[in-house]
């Protein structure tokens, strides 16, 4: 399978867009921690080599690319909190994080490339959703890398404050050891109470 390319961006530029942002989020599946989104406007003359879907890259390669993206691109990283996730649901919260990331860019983009099959309702203007976009568009690949690195660092920091849940390695996903820790150590303020393993613990009969 070939990696992502710049064809979506080139087409948008041919249609008059100059600032094209790739947008992606990470953290829908975990039972702890925020959901994190990134919006990235790549410099077409200075695109880091080796961009790909963050899941297809080694941790070391992601770190290298993260630094290159941050140094050469317009980037905004944004989050939706555990409280927001529990209040409005994870889909809406992930869209909210995306909306915040786009709003935080230094200049308003002319066109947005969104990973997934839905366009967040708060994102208006010229926008397209691309299924598996992080493996197709270099701009979305860059956003996926930035979002993952940033969220992993947040979970590593939280792991130091709440040891025993393995967040430094599982990033809050419901691994077997994480669910066992939930049973043994209890629910933290960073657990998503609307998610089944946590909800069941709190409200079991």
Residue 122 sits in a domain whose CATH number is 3.30.420.10
Residue 199 lies in a domain: no
Residue 181 belongs to some domain of the structure: no
Residue 194 lies in a domain: no
Neighbour-count burial of 17, counting CB atoms closer than 10 A to its CB (0-12 exposed, 13-18 middle, 19+ buried): middle
pLDDT at 186 over 70: yes
Q: What is the pLDDT of residue 205?
A: 43
Contact 165, 185 (CB under 8 A): yes
Which residue ranges are tagged as binding site for a divalent metal cation? 24-25, 115
Token pair for residue 84?
A: 């927001």
Residue 89 lies in a domain: yes
Q: How far out from the chain centre does Cα 77 lie?
A: 9
Q: Quote the pLDDT of residue 173.
A: 97
Q: How confident is the model at residue 79 (pLDDT cuts 50, 70, 90)?
A: very high
Q: Which two tokens stand for residue 19?
A: 């600032």
Decide if 172 is inside a domain: no
Residue 129 lies in a domain: yes
**Does the structure show a pLDDT above 60 at 144?**
yes
17-30 pLDDT, tens per residue?
A: 999 999 999 999 99
Residue 133 resides in a domain: yes
> Which parts are annotated binding residues?
24-25, 115
**Res 84: pLDDT:** 98
Q: Where are the beta strands (DSSP E) in 53-126?
A: 74-80, 111-115
Q: How far is CA 60 from CA 127, 166, 187, in A?
A: 32, 20, 32
- 């709190």: which residue's tokens? 202
Q: Measured between alpha carbons, how far is residue 180 from residues 33, 165, 172, 184, 185 in Å?
A: 17, 8, 13, 6, 8
Judge whether 117 lies within some domain: yes
pLDDT at residue 18, rounded to an integer: 95
Q: Which domain holds residue 124?
A: 7-161
- The neighbour count for residue 150, using CB atoms within 10 Å, is 21
pLDDT of residue 1: 52
- Count up the domains in the chain and report the number: 1
Give the β-pairing of 20-26 and 111-115.
parallel
Prediction pTM value: 0.96
Instruction: Give dist(CA 170, CA 61) in Å, integer.
Output: 19
């Amino acid at each position: 399978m070939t990696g992502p390319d710049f064809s979506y961006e080139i087409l948008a530029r041919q249609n008059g867009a100059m600032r094209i942002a790739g947008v992606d989020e990470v953290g829908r599946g975990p039972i702890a921690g925020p959901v994190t989104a990134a919006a990235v406007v790549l410099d077409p003359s200075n695109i880091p080599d080796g961009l790909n879907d963050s899941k297809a890259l080694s941790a070391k390669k992601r770190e290298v690319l993260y630094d290159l993206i941050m140094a050469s691109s317009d980037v905004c990283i944004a989050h939706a909190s555990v409280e927001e996730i529990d209040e409005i649901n994870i889909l809406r919260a992930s869209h909210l994080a995306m909306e915040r990331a786009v709003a935080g860019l230094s200049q308003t983009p002319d066109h947005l490339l969104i990973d997934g099959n839905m366009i967040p309702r708060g994102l208006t203007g010229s926008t397209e959703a691309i299924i598996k976009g992080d493996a197709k568009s270099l701009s979305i690949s860059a956003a996926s890398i930035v979002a993952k690195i940033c969220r992993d660092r947040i979970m590593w920091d939280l792991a130091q404050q709440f040891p025993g849940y393995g967040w430094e390695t599982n990033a809050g996903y419901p691994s077997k050891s994480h669910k066992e820790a939930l049973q043994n150590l209890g629910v933290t303020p960073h657990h998503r109470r609307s998610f089944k393993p946590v909800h069941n613990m709190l409200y079991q009969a």
